[in-house]
Amino acid sequence: MPKAIRSSLMAGKPKLYYFNGRGRMESVRWLLAAAGIEFVEEFLETREQYEKLLQDGALLFQQVPMVEIDGMKMVQTRAILGYIAAKHNLYGKNLKERALIDMYVEGTRDLMDLIRVHHKFSPEEQEKNLALINERATARYFPVYEKVLKDHGTEFLVGNQLTWADVQLIEAILMVEEKVSTILSKFPLLQDFKTRICNIPTIKKFLQPGSQRKPPPDESYVVTANRVFNRK
Amino acid sequence: MAGKPKLYYFDGRGKMESVRWLLAAAGVEFEEELLETREQYEKLLQDGALMFQQVPMVEIDGMKLVQTRAILNYLAATHNLYGRDLKERALIDMYVEGTTDLMQLILMFPFLSAEDKEKQHALIVQKATNRYFPAYEKVLRDHGQDYLVGNQFSWADIHLFEAILMVEEKKCDVLSEFPQLQMFKARISNMPRIKKFLEPGSQRKPIPDDKYVETVRRVLQMYYNVKASV
C-alpha cells in the first residue's frame, strides 16, 4: 500500500467507546471539540458489545472509557486527556505550566466527580450531595480559579493561551450551573471567563444542538450502564 | 535556590507515599514536615499554602504543588522517568492510573470498620489477581523487556513495584501465578536506590496503624465513616 494512503488511513478520527451519555467520557469529548478534532463514537448498549471488547483484549483494565487514537487503544480518562492535550498544544509550553495545568484540572476533576455520581444516589442522599457540591464549588474550587484570573489578569488560566485547564473549567462551571444556576453569582471574573470561552468558535459549536455533547444523565442512561456492567 | 523538595503530610503513607517512592528512585533527597496537630494544618491554610485546602503538598522549585497526580507528573518529567515521547508517556499514564486505582483500594483500608475491612481485603486481592496484575504480566511477557515502557526505567515501574509490595502485605503469595511480575519485582528490588529505600532508616513509611488513623482524623477533623468500595 502506498505510504501516503497508509498514513491517511492511520491518521483517522479518534473513536470513542462508551455509553451514550456523559459519564467519564464527557471531558474527552469537550477536549477534542475544543481542539477542533472530529471524532466518532461507538455507544455501548448491550452486555454482548462489552463482552466482545473484553474478549478482543481491547480494554486494558476491562474498563471504559476507551479511545482508539493514533494506533493505540487508550484507557483511563486522565491518560487519554493528557495525550490529547499534549498532542494538540493544550498542555502549556513548559514543565511549570504543565504543573499548573495539572493542579487546576485535578481540582475541577474532583468537583465534577461529585456531580458525575449524583444521579446514582437516593433522593435523600442527593439533597446532601447537592449541598456538598454547592459548598465545594463556592468555598473550595471556584475561589481558586477566580483568584488565578484576578492575579494575572489574562484571559486564560495558564500562560495566556487556551489550555486543557480552561476547557475543563468551563465544563465544570456548566455542570455545576445545571445543579445550582446561581453558582457564579459571587465570581465576576469567572462569569467573564465563561462568556469568553463559550464564544471561542470550536466551543461555541460544541454548545449548539446537534453536537456530540451529551445531556445530563437520565433514567435510561442508568439502566443501560447497569445492564452492560451486570449491576443490580 | 535549588533546595531539597519539602513534603507536607502526615507521618504515614497515604497519598504521599508514591511521591516518596518516586523521589527515592530518582535519587533526590527530600525533607518532610509531618502534620501532627490541627494547628499546624490551620496555619498552612491561613498562609494560603494549600491551593484546595488539602495535602499532599510539596514545596519544589519555587512552587507549592498540590494534587498527587500533578506532583508525581512534575517529578517524573523533571527526572527523566516519563518516557521519551508522547506515546511512551501515554503508556506510562495508563499503567500508573491502573496501579493508582489498585492502591486507592488499599489506601482507604485503615479507615474502614472491621466488617468492611474483611470485604475490602477480598476485593483488593480479587482486583489485583483478576484485573491489574494480569495486565502488567502480559505487558512484560509480550515485549520481554526488563521495564514496562520503552526498555528503560520509568515512573510506571516504580509505581507498579510499590503496588506489588502493598498487595503482598495483604496476601504474601499474591504473585504466585505471575512469573513475569516475580522477576520484575526481583529486578527492581536490586536497583541500588530502591534497595536503599527498602532498608530500615529510610523515609519509607510503615503500614498505617490506629495512631496514623487517629492523627489524620484529628488534623483534618475527618470523623465520618469511610465506606468499603464494594
Q: How far is it, in rounded angstroms, from Cα A170 to Cα A203?
A: 10
Distance between A58 CA and the closest CA of chain B, angstroms: 11
Q: Quick one: pLDDT at residue A232? A: 59
| Spatial contact of A129 and A44, defined as CB atoms under 8 Å apart | no
Question: For residue B223, what pLDDT is reported?
Answer: 82
Any chain B CB within 8 A of the CB of A145? Answer: no
Whole-prediction pTM: 0.95
Map out the domains of chain A as residue ranges.
3-88+208-229, 95-199
Cβ–Cβ contact B132 with A under 8 A: yes
Whether residue A83 and residue B89 make contact (CB cut-off 8 A), yes or no, is yes
* Nearest residue, CB atoms, A102 vs list B53, B70, B89: B70
Please name the residues between 48 and 67 in chain A that touch chain B, using a CB distance below 8 Å.
Answer: 60-62
**A189 Cβ contact list (under 8 Å, min separation 6):** A146, A149, A150
Closest listed residue to residue A68, CA positions, set B75, B90, B129: B90
Give dist(CA B65, CA B70) in Å, integer: 7
| Contact call for residues A184 and A170 (beta carbons, < 8 A) | no
Helix or strand (DSSP H, E) at A17:
strand A15-18
Beta strands at A66-69 and A72-75: parallel, antiparallel or unpaired: antiparallel
Does residue B7 sit in helix, strand or coil?
Answer: strand
Tell whether B43 lies on the interface with A, counting CB pairs under 8 A. Answer: no
**Given CB atoms, is B66 within the 8 Å cutoff of chain A?**
yes
Domain boundaries, chain B: 6-79+198-220, 86-190
Q: Which homologous superfamily is B6-79+198-220 in?
A: Glutaredoxin (3.40.30.10)
Q: Are B209 and B167 in contact (CB under 8 A)?
A: no
Q: What is the DSSP string of B166-230?
A: HHHHH-TTTTTT-HHHHHHHHHHHTSHHHHHHHSTTSSPPPPP-HHHHHHHHHHHT--SPPPP--
Say which of B53, B69, B97 has its CB closest to residue A102: B69
Residues 159-188 of B with CB under 8 A from A: none
Q: Which three-class secondary structure state does DSSP give residue B26?
A: coil
Cα–Cα dist B51/B57, whole Å: 9
B167: cell is: 498487595
Residues pairing with B60 in the sheet: B63
As averages over each run of 10 residues, the pLDDT of chain B (230 residues) reads 87 98 98 98 97 98 98 98 98 98 96 94 98 98 98 98 98 98 98 98 96 96 78
Q: What confidence score (pLDDT) does residue A39 get?
A: 98
| Closest-CA distance of chain A to residue B113, Å | 21
Using the Cβ of B124 and the Cβ atoms of chain A, whether some distance falls under 8 Å is answered with no
Q: What is the pLDDT of residue A182?
A: 97
| Ranges of chain A whose pLDDT falls below 50 | none
When the candidates are 3.40.30.10, 3.60.21.10, 1.10.287.610, 3.90.76.10, the CATH number that belongs to A3-88+208-229 is 3.40.30.10
The whole-angstrom distance between A208's CA and the closest CA on chain B is: 31
To the question of domain B86-190 being in CATH 1.20.1050.10, the answer is: yes
pLDDT digits 0-9 by tens, A63-98: 999 999 999 999 999 999 999 999 999 999 999 999
**Architecture of the A95-199 domain:** Up-down Bundle (1.20)
Do B58 and B7 contact (CB within 8 A), yes or no?
Answer: yes
Q: With contacts defined as CB-CB under 8 Å, which chain A residues touch B93?
A: 76, 78-79, 82-83
**pLDDT score, position A222:** 85
Cβ-based contacts of A78 with chain B (< 8 Å): 69, 93, 97
Helix, strand, or coil here: A14? Answer: coil
Question: CA triplet A53, A21, A106: central angle to 5 degrees?
Answer: 90
Size of interface A-B (CB pairs under 8 A): 72
- Here the ipTM equals 0.96
User: 445543579: which residue's cell?
Assistant: A179
**Could A99 and B74 be called an inter-chain contact, meaning their C-beta atoms sit closer than 8 Å?**
yes
